[in-house]
Structure 1
Amino acid sequence: MVDFALTHAWLVPLLPALAFVIIVFLTRPYARLSSTVAIAAIFSSFVLAANIAYGVFTNPGFIEKPLVYSLRWFGMEGFTVDVGVMLDPTSAMMLFMVSMVATLIQIYSTGYMHGDPQYSVFFSYLSLFAASMLGLVISSNLLQMFILWELVGLCSFLLIGFYTFKVSAREAAKKAFITTRIGDFGMMLGLLFLQIVFGTLDLVGLAERVPNYEQFGISLGLLTLIAILLFIGPIGKSGQFPLHVWLPDAMEGPTPVSALIHAATMVVAGVYLVGRTLFLFAEVPGAAEVVAFIGAFTAIFAATIAITQREIKRILAYSTVSQLGYMMLALGVGSLSASMFHLWTHAFFKALMFLGAGSVLHALHDKADVWEMGGLIKKMPITGWTFVIGGLAIAGIPPFAGFWSKDEILLVTLEYAKHGHALGYLLFFFAAVTAFLTAFYMWRLIFLTFFGKEKPENHPHESPLSMTFPLVVLAVLAAVGGLVGTPWANVWGEWIHFGDVHHGDPNYALMILSVVLAVAGIGLAYRLYYQDEEKQLAKQLAERYQSLYKLSYNKYYVDELYAWFTRTVVDAGAKALYWFDIYVVDNIVNGLAGVTKLSGQGMRFLHTGKMQTYALVFFLALLVITVVLAYGNPTLAGSLGGVN
């Protein structure tokens, strides 16, 4: 089975793609049958992915030389494109994680979407979404990856705007589509440059050629430009500043969609692309510093917004933006291992918390304000305690998964600073403060939602087994999923890394600092939102620092700034171009057309197509010529007069 899976890895994305086709054309009228087809397909993909992962991680040869097999798609002189599969520890890990999380989310969706009139359509979209991401993960070249990258974007558009009767959902879908298009345009330019300069978009080929870029006649400056252009795509896809504005609005889709986007598909695609092309960023330190700084700034920027938000899914959304910043920071300082490790653990605890939020919304009939909740853990113990496990994991409390991956990012950032990089200690400061803020805002959400006084107007109930079973599985993974990357085991770093394997000793001082920051954040949230039952201290702080509170609550007015820019610059520019087109371009074009028209109308009297007319014109022309020659010549005119 393992050998079959390794040589037929293309079946992993193909099976959910076939499920999409079957649901659309055959089973759409039959809701339960559609969900059964979708779940059977993605579970089969998970079984294949698990066998692939086993085959890869039990064969040390995959560390240095990935398994690549491909077919010629099309070719011409000087340009060929293959479609193929590339399997190595990174892609094997991603296949396993994406297929497993997608399977659990689809099982959860059978309960969450029960009774929805578009039930079958929803599962067809989920199947296509999973197929697109799984295909992207195993792509052997950047063009193939870009096509599937765009298909992932299409699926996110369809699912974010799934509730078409809601204006907010339609607007959020358009916002996501347009914002990510900006990033994708930059990425496309980067891909074109890579193809022109190096003659290939094959990942293995580029990894061999990019370190020898001088032999291809390009400068470090041009290579830096290419890297930054390529990075613009992940900025949009992974919600990095300043193209982060679409990601919090993606919560307008059904909650399973939010879990899939934020944990395993859309947003991690950008991180995965940078990880796949880390050989490029390693050659251009300037571009790598851009990646690191944008990641660190995004992490602390989004965290300072999350601390004041009121809607449960919006808090989680800004948390995702912040955690993605952590992953980009790790890539920017050159650590594929730390970035992919946090991507791995984040998938479990973030999927857990989004599905937990969906369970809460399901119980409270879509009441989303955490200040209107309280005491839900008594009526919803499975949802509540699994959510608490997710909160411990993301806060970084050992031995939960998030502690190990977050600590690894702090460690590689500190080492980056010690190696003399100018931004190093600033990046570490951003990461450390973000760790404190993450624990604070996440446990603020937990205390407000699950603990404290119950609200008498709420009548919560535990969700059905189809929804709680995935929560339990994800809670177990959020608890133990990070043990593969402990500094003592060092299993993760041995397999997933870029360059030399890191064998540093455990930094106990940093571990203690990390735990202190997490406990301090949880302690502050406990003091403000649990111990103070009336929340008076929290309200007093908000009033005392009202300007800062409003700045955070209104997301630093970035959306308003973009709206102002659109109205005053884009719309004004468009209006100016409109008037230029009407009064300048149109008048020139219309004037030339008028001259042509008048000329044509004049010539139509000469070119009638009738032989009689041409004969008459010919006779008249001869007559005129004769008269001119006769009366225009004095000698000839005099002789004619003498005759008379």
Structure 2
Amino acid sequence: MEIAAIFLPILGSFIAGFFGRFIGDRGAQAVTCLGVCVSALLSIALFFDVALGGHARVIPLMTWIDSGDLKLDWAIKIDTLTSVMLIVVTVVSSMVHIYSVGYMSHDRSKQRFMAYLSLFTFMMLMLVTADNLVQMFFGWEGVGVASYLLIGFWYEKQSASGAAIKAFLVNRVGDFGFVLGIGLVFFLFGTVNFDVLFEKAPEMTELTYNFLGFQVNALTCACLLLFVGAMGKSAQLLLHTWLPDAMEGPTPVSALIHAATMVTAGVFMTARLSPLFEYAPDALAFVTVIGSLTALVAATIGMTQFDIKRVIAYSTMSQLGYMFFAAGVSAYSAAVFHLMTHAFFKALLFLGAGSVIHAMSDEQDMRKMGGIWRFIPVTYVMMWIGSLALAGVGIPGLFGFAGFYSKDLILEAAWGAHSGVGEFAYWMGVIAAFITAFYSWRLIIMTFHGKPRADHHTMEHVHESPLVMTLPLGVLAIGAAFAGFIGEEWFAGEEREHFWGEAIKVLSTHDSIAAAHHVELWVKMLPLVAAFSGIFFGYLFYMIKPDLPGKFVAAVRPLHQLFFRKYYFDEIYDAVFVKNAFRLGSFFWKRGDEQTIDAFGPDGVAAVTGKLAGLAGKLQTGYLYHYAFAMVIGLAAFVTWFWIGL
């Protein structure tokens, strides 16, 4: 069962990719959708067996590497953390596959697209079932390659090709840190196998290591390097600039990358390595600060954007910040809880946005929408459900949408950690919660309400998406509405320790989840007040007083420009890294290659040879007496040399 759940997507990808011309578009869509859907059903069965039944296991497949001290098996690790991720990845991916049948119906390369989607899914499954760091890195890089192919799927567009290259290069920066972290772990522990690492971790707490001339804690250094990889893959502050540009890919790609798979890989890795991070408190503090700043910065940028997909993309970045600062205060189960709930409501929002774009004849600018809710009522309701879950709306003690349970748990755990960085994260998270609710209703109102701002031709063609696109929205909406309510006891309640078993390690002194249940009432209520306040101001600014946004922007124009221009990260990176890299490349090309290597190498030798040939050519005069004279001179020289030699 485990083998089938993991390898069915790659089988579908192989068939669609290499035999697509024989089975046709429908055949490629059928084989890939069937493979991922069966994988999702098997993953649900595995969840009941492993997470609820307590039958965690490791299944060796073959000896992979046997070189000196490095001996690795290719093995499938199935525990509670893996089983949760299997459900998240396969269920969301199966809905994206089905949705793509309708969304990509007019594309010329359906077979290639479906093959890429299934390849991406398989690589993510490889990542979450890894039994060691090197095997995880295989899935990690495989996800990166597949995302490059998907973001740049419409490679005829210069913007799509550029976005794919940008995502690939920025992730290489993070992955370099990840590779260094794996190397340092192997140097310290002599292995990269998870079980052995986790067993030896307590012995490494006092070990120091010389890094760049400084004596640092070895375990802290290793964890920080590994987290740099997570920063790139999960678009945390400083390595986040690739994420909004990735919207150049088809909308199903946005849902798959930004909901359940690629961007959550860093969160999964941090949770998987919790037995290491628990003994590196300085690394955890760094994770907390980066996560909380990411949550706030992304939220402020998101409320100024007009592209519907970019708004949702920045909300993804913000929610990932929540997950990381949860991990930073040792609330790993809260981080994974939010990862799971976020997968459902964020995939719902992206696919809902795709339905809007489909209805609006590929228009993505919210300033050119409005007044369409009557024409696409199903999509409208689905976007409401996704937005309520994203904002974390609920009634304590009764019912809440998915984000209500997981986001509030994170904030309460941050405060319950009773640390400076924890309290900092709490306040950043509360402010981000207010802004999230505000821009969510800004999106709803600008997109669906008010007077139509599109041209007459576009409005004539506004229509609801077909069933093959709305059905996946309904499935995801169920998760967005009920996933938090269903999973609360397992992720945050009394069943938490039994549910997780050995999958997540938390020191008794770091148990912020337990502390979260005993925080003051105002700590619990403030995030909910922030959410409802954000919704209220969204209505006030964009429904009741639509002239207010313009006045407010005029009053705080420098601040608005800072947010709208994304804190000028792209401009700074372009000036510091990109342009200087081009200058350096141009220097090596012109001065190094052309003027040095070529000038004194191939080009120089060729030039000298040409000149010598030209001189020799002048001797070929065509006059017989010249040749006779040359023969006499040569004979005289030969006789002279022979005579001297005697």
Task: Report the TM-score when normalising by structure 1.
Answer: 0.86
Structure 1 unaligned regions, length at least 5: 602-612, 624-644
Structure-2 residue corresponding to 1:552:
563
Equivalents in 1 of 2:252, 2:525: separation in Å?
36
Map 1:120-519; keep pairs closer than 5 Å. Answer: 120-213=111-204, 221-398=217-394, 399-416=400-417, 418=418, 421-455=419-453, 457=456, 458-459=459-460, 460-486=462-488, 489-492=493-496, 494-496=498-500, 497-499=504-506, 500=508, 502-504=513-515, 505=517, 507=519, 508-519=521-532
> Are residues 1:12 and 2:19 paired?
no
Structure 1 counterpart SS, 2:217? helix
Structure 1 counterpart SS, 2:373? helix
Equivalents in 2 of 1:21, 1:60: separation in Å?
34
Equivalents in 2 of 1:73, 1:490: separation in Å?
40
C-alpha deviation, 1:274, in angstroms? 1.4
Structure 2 counterpart SS, 1:81? strand
Structure-1 residue corresponding to 2:48:
54
Q: Which amino acid aligns with 1:392?
A: L
> Are residues 1:530 and 2:543 paired?
yes
> Are residues 1:84 and 2:84 paired?
no
Distance 1:348 1:587, change over 3 A: closer
Equivalents in 2 of 1:619, 1:337: separation in Å?
99
Distance 1:582 1:125, change over 3 A: closer
Distance 1:186 1:619, change over 3 A: farther
C-alpha deviation, 1:443, in angstroms? 1.1
C-alpha deviation, 1:28, in angstroms? 3.4
Map 1:31-42; keep pairs closer than 5 Å. Answer: 31-42=25-36
Equivalents in 1 of 2:283, 2:205: separation in Å?
17
Structure 2 counterpart SS, 1:423? helix
Equivalents in 2 of 1:320, 1:167: separation in Å?
25
Structure 1 counterpart SS, 2:192? coil
Equivalents in 1 of 2:430, 2:366: separation in Å?
26
Structure 2 counterpart SS, 1:86? strand
C-alpha deviation, 1:619, in angstroms? 9.2
Q: Any conservation in 1 of the 2:60–2:73 contact (CA below 8 Å)?
A: no
Query: Aligned pair count?
Result: 591
Task: Report the TM-score when normalising by structure 2.
Answer: 0.86
C-alpha deviation, 1:348, in angstroms? 0.4
Equivalents in 1 of 2:52, 2:126: separation in Å?
23
Q: Which amino acid aligns with 1:509?
A: W
Structure-2 residue corresponding to 1:98:
89
Equivalents in 1 of 2:497, 2:403: separation in Å?
16
Structure 1 counterpart SS, 2:563? helix
Q: Any conservation in 2 of the 1:396–1:406 contact (CA below 8 Å)?
A: yes
> Are residues 1:572 and 2:573 paired?
no
Q: Which amino acid aligns with 2:145?
A: L
Q: Any conservation in 1 of the 2:207–2:219 contact (CA below 8 Å)?
A: no
Structure 1 counterpart SS, 2:237? coil
RMSD of aligned Cα (Å): 2.7
Structure-2 residue corresponding to 1:606:
none
Distance 1:214 1:552, change over 3 A: closer
Deviates more, 1:380-389 or 1:559-568: 559-568
Q: Any conservation in 1 of the 2:206–2:217 contact (CA below 8 Å)?
A: no
Distance 1:469 1:585, change over 3 A: same
Equivalents in 1 of 2:415, 2:206: separation in Å?
35
Q: Any conservation in 2 of the 1:264–1:347 contact (CA below 8 Å)?
A: yes
Q: Which amino acid aligns with 1:453?
A: K
Distance 1:284 1:589, change over 3 A: farther
Q: Which amino acid aligns with 2:256?
A: L
Q: Any conservation in 2 of the 1:198–1:216 contact (CA below 8 Å)?
A: no
Q: Any conservation in 2 of the 1:160–1:250 contact (CA below 8 Å)?
A: yes
Equivalents in 2 of 1:522, 1:92: separation in Å?
35
Q: Any conservation in 2 of the 1:349–1:393 contact (CA below 8 Å)?
A: yes
C-alpha deviation, 1:97, in angstroms? 1.3
Q: Percent identity?
A: 39
Of 2, 15, 26, 2:19 maps to: 26
Equivalents in 1 of 2:60, 2:116: separation in Å?
29
C-alpha deviation, 1:574, in angstroms? 3.8
Q: Which amino acid aligns with 1:99?
A: T
Structure-1 residue corresponding to 2:626:
none
Equivalents in 2 of 1:584, 1:170: separation in Å?
32
Equivalents in 2 of 1:584, 1:107: separation in Å?
56
Q: Residue by residue, what CA displacement relative to the aligned partner does 1:548-606 show, whole Å, maximum 9, x if unpaired? A: 11111111111111111235533334445556636997599879x99xx99xx9xxxxx
Equivalents in 2 of 1:588, 1:363: separation in Å?
60
Structure 2 counterpart SS, 1:20? helix
Equivalents in 2 of 1:145, 1:297: separation in Å?
27
Q: Any conservation in 2 of the 1:53–1:96 contact (CA below 8 Å)?
A: yes
Equivalents in 1 of 2:594, 2:323: separation in Å?
52
C-alpha deviation, 1:287, in angstroms? 1.2
Larger radius of gyration: 1
C-alpha deviation, 1:491, in angstroms? 4.2
Equivalents in 1 of 2:257, 2:67: separation in Å?
38
Q: Which amino acid aligns with 2:463?
A: H
Equivalents in 2 of 1:553, 1:247: separation in Å?
16
Structure-1 residue corresponding to 2:617:
none
Distance 1:619 1:230, change over 3 A: farther
C-alpha deviation, 1:60, in angstroms? 3.6
Q: Any conservation in 2 of the 1:68–1:84 contact (CA below 8 Å)?
A: yes
Distance 1:550 1:51, change over 3 A: same
C-alpha deviation, 1:509, in angstroms? 3.0
Q: Which amino acid aligns with 1:540?
A: K
Q: Any conservation in 2 of the 1:275–1:331 contact (CA below 8 Å)?
A: yes
C-alpha deviation, 1:27, in angstroms? 2.9
Q: Residue by residue, what CA displacement relative to the aligned partner does 1:262-307 show, whole Å, maximum 9, x if unpaired? A: 0111111111111111222211111111111111111100100001
Q: Which amino acid aligns with 2:592?
A: D
> Are residues 1:45 and 2:39 paired?
yes
Structure 1 counterpart SS, 2:73? strand
Q: Which amino acid aligns with 1:464?
A: P
